[in-house]
Amino acid sequence: MLAVLCASLLLVAMDATILNVALPSLIDAMHPSALEQLWIIDVYGLVLGGLLVSMGAVSDRYGRKRLFVLGFLLFGAASVVAATATGPWQLIAGRVLLGVGGAMVMPSTLSLIRTVFQDPRERTLAIGIWAAVAGAGAAVGPLIGGALVGTFDWSAAFWVNVPVVAVTVVAAVRLLPEYKDAGHGPPDRTGAVLSVVGVVALAWGIKHVAKGSVAAPDVAVLVLGLVVLGLFARRQLRLPDPLLDVRLFANRAFTAAALATLLAMLAIGAALFLVSLWLQYVHGYSPFAAGLRTLPAALATLGGSLLAPRLMERAGVRGVMALGLSALLAGFLVLALAPAPLAYPAVAVVLVALGLGDGLAITASAATLVSAVPARRAGQAGAVSETNYELGVGLGVALLGSVHGAVYAHHMAGWPTLARDSVGGAHEQAEALGGDRGERLMDAARTAFDDALTTTAYVSAGLVAAVTVLVVALVPRGFTAQSGPH
């Protein structure tokens, strides 16, 4: 049963990053604008993050296995829509449907683990394996994507989902137990709408404001997201059977775990996106070669996740979270302080540090979230964990990717608009110009990309440092994730 759940999670997690190395091939085929490129990459995580709270509640009420199977079938169908896209907006639509299917699958994986593994020690170990697959899936996405794109084209990054979906659905129907709680009332539809609108509006606002837009509509959308999420929280406090029991956040360890998950995935999501572009455009690696060079992150994530349960027995949740977040901080500082021009050995060290920190933080956080709720509300814990996981990846690309893009554009002042928009645009412009002028353009783009990466690393390090202090302050000394809800 754990193998089935992890196989599905691997596929959903991979889809958050698999397009990173496929983006150059996709740009050559579709010529999407810079904004369309960002949406193609991160709309999946934003839609998934917006729907997870609602889907977690639905799984508790109508059956976790049922939602898991239906969601994975939709995931397979959406993969076909994306793979056959002939334009940017059809591909974006396919990614939206993938996000809906993923939102149906992901809360069920963690909540079914809560149901199947009743012994706290076994559950923590199972969550460690689950977190290893989740983190490694995001990290190995570029490698799988690179191999497929190098052999076929960008659409192969979606076609690969179809046979895996078929096998996993058959195994899930035969092996997984059903669980639903008849004591729940019908889902709060108004609350569901508020949660989706709030999360998506907040993410949209952050995306555009981070890109440097201070236009009234963008600021208004950001404010709308905050207001709607406030209304959602207020409504949930008044309901006897809420979609999300927001009182859980009064538990300091629960809040710290949610923050740690968000930050860990924000960091590694943005880093893998930017490093994949750096490997292909700055150093000219093929998609597969670029994906292969991101493998240290996947291996480190796997190791950190499997090590975390044993470390939690000795150092507690607080110590493991602090260690994981400190590793993220160290990774970004190495990236920021590496001598110019940036070389791959320094990047490999960064990827190991980020992967290790991600594995430790995600495992400790997931174990904490699951232990904070009774089995009948495990879907809520899964929803919180997965919302922060996927929203972190999406916001990492949107927020830190936008910071990088703004600094890159500043350094490219004086060059054509296409070259200022993105390093991919500069590559396309350089090929069109040819000769010495084309080479000078690419030299300027490489330098600008490296400089922007350094600035983004400093911003990331500051963010990680601030959240690390907050998380350590929130988790009580001696807290254990094996005590269960109380």
SS3 readout for 409-466: HHHCCCCCHHHHHCHHHHHHHHHHHCHHHHHHHHHHHHHHHHHHHHHHHHHHHHHHHH
The pLDDT value recorded for residue 150 is 77
**What's the CA gap between 291 and 284, in Å, rounded?**
12
Tell me whether residue 486 is in a domain.
Answer: no
Q: In the predicted model, what is the mean pLDDT of the chain? A: 83
The pLDDT value recorded for residue 97 is 93
Query: CA dist 55 to 67, 104, 187, 290, 379, Å?
Result: 8, 6, 10, 35, 8
Whether residue 142 has pLDDT greater than 60 = yes
The pLDDT value recorded for residue 213 is 57
Mean pLDDT on 441-450:
89
Looking at the structure, tell me whether residues 175 and 309 fall in a common domain.
yes
Tell me whether residue 99 is in a domain.
Answer: yes
One-letter amino acid at 361 equals A
Looking at the structure, tell me whether residues 231 and 294 fall in a common domain.
no
Whether residue 437 has pLDDT greater than 90 = no
Tell me whether residue 88 is in a domain.
Answer: yes
Q: Closest Cα to residue 369, out of 203, 52, 124, 185? A: 124
Cis amide prior to 240 (ω within 30 degrees): no
Query: Residue 483 class from Cβ within 10 Å (0-12 exposed, 13-18 middle, 19+ buried)?
Result: exposed
Which of 206, 238, 270 delimits the end of a domain?
A: 238
The residue ranking higher by pLDDT, 35 or 232, is 232
152-210 residue pLDDT tens: 888 888 998 899 899 999 999 998 888 776 666 677 889 889 988 888 788 777 766 76
Whether residue 428 has pLDDT greater than 70 = yes
Query: Residue 230: which domain range?
Result: 189-238
**What's the CA gap between 386 and 8, in Å, rounded?**
14
Whether residue 381 has pLDDT greater than 80 = no
Tell me whether residue 380 is in a domain.
Answer: yes
Q: Helix, strand or coil for residue 319?
A: helix
Looking at the structure, tell me whether residues 362 and 329 fall in a common domain.
yes
Looking at the structure, tell me whether residues 230 and 113 fall in a common domain.
no
Tell me whether residue 378 is in a domain.
Answer: yes
Looking at the structure, tell me whether residues 287 and 402 fall in a common domain.
yes
Looking at the structure, tell me whether residues 107 and 153 fall in a common domain.
yes
Looking at the structure, tell me whether residues 181 and 197 fall in a common domain.
no
State CA 322 to chain mean position distance: 20
Which of 205, 238, 271 delimits the end of a domain?
A: 238
Tell me whether residue 467 is in a domain.
Answer: yes
Q: Closest Cα to residue 397, out of 224, 244, 251, 207? A: 207
Looking at the structure, tell me whether residues 110 and 205 fall in a common domain.
no
Structure token pair of residue 274: 């930017």
pLDDT-based confidence at residue 347 (cuts at 50, 70, 90): very high
Tell me whether residue 363 is in a domain.
Answer: yes
The pLDDT value recorded for residue 484 is 46
pLDDT-based confidence at residue 141 (cuts at 50, 70, 90): confident
301-345 residue pLDDT tens: 888 988 988 898 888 888 899 999 999 999 999 999 998 888 899
Please tell me the total count of domains within the chain.
2
The pLDDT value recorded for residue 486 is 39
Whether residue 271 has pLDDT greater than 90 = no
Whether residue 61 has pLDDT greater than 60 = yes
Tell me whether residue 482 is in a domain.
Answer: no
Which of 208, 238, 268 delimits the end of a domain?
A: 238
Which of 107-116, 123-132, 220-229 has the highest average model confidence (pLDDT)? 220-229
Looking at the structure, tell me whether residues 148 and 214 fall in a common domain.
no
The pLDDT value recorded for residue 228 is 93
pLDDT-based confidence at residue 409 (cuts at 50, 70, 90): confident
The pLDDT value recorded for residue 182 is 64
Which of 46-60, 68-82, 111-125, 370-384 has the highest average model confidence (pLDDT)? 68-82
Looking at the structure, tell me whether residues 314 and 292 fall in a common domain.
yes
Looking at the structure, tell me whether residues 114 and 209 fall in a common domain.
no
Mean pLDDT on 430-459:
88
In percent, the amount of the chain with pLDDT more than 70 equals 93
Mean pLDDT on 244-253:
83
**What's the CA gap between 194 and 238, in Å, rounded?**
15
CATH number of the domain that residue 137 is part of: 1.20.1250.20
Looking at the structure, tell me whether residues 198 and 180 fall in a common domain.
no
